[in-house]
C-alpha cells in the first residue's frame, strides 16, 4: 500500500513535503519524497500531515468513566481515599466498559500505543482483543503488610503472563508506588527483567512521608498496616533506587518532587520520566522540573494519566490536550521537543523504540493524519496545536478510522 500526503512527518528524520509512505502488511518499508515513490497504485491522503500514531506512556483506562467525579482534593492522600471508594463500587461489567471507553477515546485522538496500568488481570484477555490499540500492560502490584509474600505475588503474575500474553504490545510490572509497597515487593520486581512502571515522587504527601517520616500519607498507610520504618531518611527516588527498581527499563511516573540529587540519580539510572500535564494541573503540584530533567539527559515523555484527575466532565484521553497544556506551561519549549515526548521518547520509554513512535523502515504501520494546508516548516507546530480527534488512524496496517476519501467509497 502506497500512501501520499502533503507533509509526511516521520519524526525519525526531517519532515518531507509531498511525501510517501509504503506499507507492506503491517510494517513500513519505505518513506520518502513523492519524486522517488515506486510506480504502483496510490492512496492520496491529500491536504494532511501524515505522522506516526502517538504513544501515551501512562494511563489507567479503567478509570475513564470516573471522568470529573472527584473534585480537586485538599491533599493527594484525600484523592487516594476517594479513588479507593469509587473503585469499590465497580463490578466486572463496569470495569470492562470503562476500559473500552478509554481505549476508544485514545484511538480517536490518534494514540496507537499505550502504556496502561492494569488492576484486573482476570479481565485482560478479552479486553486486549476488544481494541486494536497496541497496549503495554503494566500489572499493578499493591502489597505492603509485613506478613504478605511478595515474591510469591510476583511469581503468580509471571506464571499468569506465560499463559496470557497481549496479542500485540508487551507486558510489564507496576509496583504501584513506594507508599503502597514494601521492600520485598520492590526487590522481587527488580529481579525480573520485564519493563517496570512505578508512580514516584508524585505528591508533597509522599515526599513528606519518605523524607521526613510524617504527614497525612504516612499516617494513612500506617493505619492500613504498612510498617513505615523505611521512612524518614530517603527521598522516594532514592528509596526506589535502593530497592533495585530504578533502571533503564523503568518508567518513573510523575517525578514531581525532586531534589538535585534525585535528578542526578534518575539520569544515572537511565530510567524514563512520564509527565502528565493535566493531572499535574489538577493536583496543583509544584512546577514540574522540566528544565533540570532535560538538562540532565533524562528521557522525558508525556502521558494522559486517567480521567479521575480532571474536573472537566467533558475531558477525554487526548495527548493533543496534554501537548497543548505542556506547551502553555513551558512556552520556551520547541514544538519538536514536545512532539518527541508523545512519539519517539515515549516509544523508547515503553521499550518499543524503532517499532512505534516514528515512521521508519521496519516500524509497525501505525499512522495518523490531521488536516493541514500549510507549509512544511509549520507542520510540527500545527500538530502540537491540533485540537479534537484526528482525521484517520491506521494500526498494524489496518485503517481503524479510514481517511475521508476511502470512507466515502465504502
Ligand atoms: Zn497513574
Strands 250-254 and 196-200: parallel
Q: Residue 407: is its pLDDT beyond 80?
A: no
Cα–ligand 1 centroid distance for 64 (angstroms): 12
Cα–ligand 1 centroid distance for 276 (angstroms): 9
Give the DSSP per-residue string, 180-206. GB-HHHHHHHHTS-S-EEEEES--HHH
Place of cell 507546530: 381
- Mean pLDDT in residue range 183-192: 96
Residue 344 has which C-alpha cell? 519517539
pLDDT of residue 163: 86
Cα–ligand 1 centroid distance for 155 (angstroms): 23
pTM score above 0.75 = yes
pLDDT of residue 341: 98
Q: Residue 355: is its pLDDT beyond 80?
A: yes
Quote the CA–CA distance of 39 and 72 in Å, as a whole number.
Answer: 57
Lowest mean pLDDT across 29-38, 70-79, 161-170: 161-170
Dump pLDDT digits (tens) for 236-287: 999 999 999 999 999 999 999 999 999 999 999 999 999 999 999 999 999 9
Cα–ligand 1 centroid distance for 199 (angstroms): 6
Give which of 154, 220, 211, 229 is closest to 185, Cα–Cα: 154
- Mean pLDDT in residue range 378-393: 98
Cα–ligand 1 centroid distance for 331 (angstroms): 25
Dump pLDDT digits (tens) for 116-149: 999 999 999 999 999 999 999 999 999 999 889 9
Cα dihedral: 98, 103, 107, 112 (round 10): 160
Report the chain's mean pLDDT, rounded to a whole number.
Answer: 96
Q: Residue 213: is its pLDDT beyond 90?
A: yes
pLDDT of residue 345: 98
pLDDT of residue 166: 85
Lowest mean pLDDT across 21-25, 87-91, 193-197: 87-91
Domains and CATH numbers, the chain: 2-53+357-409 (2.30.40.10), 54-349 (3.20.20.140)
Quote the CA–CA distance of 376 and 32 in Å, as a whole number.
Answer: 14
Quote the CA–CA distance of 179 and 176 in Å, as a whole number.
Answer: 8
pLDDT of residue 410: 58
pLDDT of residue 165: 83
- Mean pLDDT in residue range 152-169: 90
Cα–ligand 1 centroid distance for 60 (angstroms): 6
Cα–ligand 1 centroid distance for 196 (angstroms): 13
- List the 169-175 sheet strands across, edge first: 54-59, 111-118, 134-141, 169-175, 196-200, 250-254, 272-275, 299-302
Cα–ligand 1 centroid distance for 308 (angstroms): 10
Cα–ligand 1 centroid distance for 262 (angstroms): 20
Give which of 91, 4, 109 is closest to 53, Cα–Cα: 109
Cα–ligand 1 centroid distance for 270 (angstroms): 20
Dump pLDDT digits (tens) for 6-30: 999 999 999 999 999 999 999 999 9
pLDDT of residue 409: 67
Cα–ligand 1 centroid distance for 30 (angstroms): 37
Quote the CA–CA distance of 319 and 317 in Å, as a whole number.
Answer: 7
pLDDT of residue 38: 95
Percentage of the chain modeled with pLDDT above 70: 100
Cα–ligand 1 centroid distance for 407 (angstroms): 36
- Mean pLDDT in residue range 77-94: 93
Q: At a CB cut-off of 8 Å and minimum separation 6, what does 82 contact?
A: 70, 73
First to last CA, the chain: 18
Amino acid at each position: 500500500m502506497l500512501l501520499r500526503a502533503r507533509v509526511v512527518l516521520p519524526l525519525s528524520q526531517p519532515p518531507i513535503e509531498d511525501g510517501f509512505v509504503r506499507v507492506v502488511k503491517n510494517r513500513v518499508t519505505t518513506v520518502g519524497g513523492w519524486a522517488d515513490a515506486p510506480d504502483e497504485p496510490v492512496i492520496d491522503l491529500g491536504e494532511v500531515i501524515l505522522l506516526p500514531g502517538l504513544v501515551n506512556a501512562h494511563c489507567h483506562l479503567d478509570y475513564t468513566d470516573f471522568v470529573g467525579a472527584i473534585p480537586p482534593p485538599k491533599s493527594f492522600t484525600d484523592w487516594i481515599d476517594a479513588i479507593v471508594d469509587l473503585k469499590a463500587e465497580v463490578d466486572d461489567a463496569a470495569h470492562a466498559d470503562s476500559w473500552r471507553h478509554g481505549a476508544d477515546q485514545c484511538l480517536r485522538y490518534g494514540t496507537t500505543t499505550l502504556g496502561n496500568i492494569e488492576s484486573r488481570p482476570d479481565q485482560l484477555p478479552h479486553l486486549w482483543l476488544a481494541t486494536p490499540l497496541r497496549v503495554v500492560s503494566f500489572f499493578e502490584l499493591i502489597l505492603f503488610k509485613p506478613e504478605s509474600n511478595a515474591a510469591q505475588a510476583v511469581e503468580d503474575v509471571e506464571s499468569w503472563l506465560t499463559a496470557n500474553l497481549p496479542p500485540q504490545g508487551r507486558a510489564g510490572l507496576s509496583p504501584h508506588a513506594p507508599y503502597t509497597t514494601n521492600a520485598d515487593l520492590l526487590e522481587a520486581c527488580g529481579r525480573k527483567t520485564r519493563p517496570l512502571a512505578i508512580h514516584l515522587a508524585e505528591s508533597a504527601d509522599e515526599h513528606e512521608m519518605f523524607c521526613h517520616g510524617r504527614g497525612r500519607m504516612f499516617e494513612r498507610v500506617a493505619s492500613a498496616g504498612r510498617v513505615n520504618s523505611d521512612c524518614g531518611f530517603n527521598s522516594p527516588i532514592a528509596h526506589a533506587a535502593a530497592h533495585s527498581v530504578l533502571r533503564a527499563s523503568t518508567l518513573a511516573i510523575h517525578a514531581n518532587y525532586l531534589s538535585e540529587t534525585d535528578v542526578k540519580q534518575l539520569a544515572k539510572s537511565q530510567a524514563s520520566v512520564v509527565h502528565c500535564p493535566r493531572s499535574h494541573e489538577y493536583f496543583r503540584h509544584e512546577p514540574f522540573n522540566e528544565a533540570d530533567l532535560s538538562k540532565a539527559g533524562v528521557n522525558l515523555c508525556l502521558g494522559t494519566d486517567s480521567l479521575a484527575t480532571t474536573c472537566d466532565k467533558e475531558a477525554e484521553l487526548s495527548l493533543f490536550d496534554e501537548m497543548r497544556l505542556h506547551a502553555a506551561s513551558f512556552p520556551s519549549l520547541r514544538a519538536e521537543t514536545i512532539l518527541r515526548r508523545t512519539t519517539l521518547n515515549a516509544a523508547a520509554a515503553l521499550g518499543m523504540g524503532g517499532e512505534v513512535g516514528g515512521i521508519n523502515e521496519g516500524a509497525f504501520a501505525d499512522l495518523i493524519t490531521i488536516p493541514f494546508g500549510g507549509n512544511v516548516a509549520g507542520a510540527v507546530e500545527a500538530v502540537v496545536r491540533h485540537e479534537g480527534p484526528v482525521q484517520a488512524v491506521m494500526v498494524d496496517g489496518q485503517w481503524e478510522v479510514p481517511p475521508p476519501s476511502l470512507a466515502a467509497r465504502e
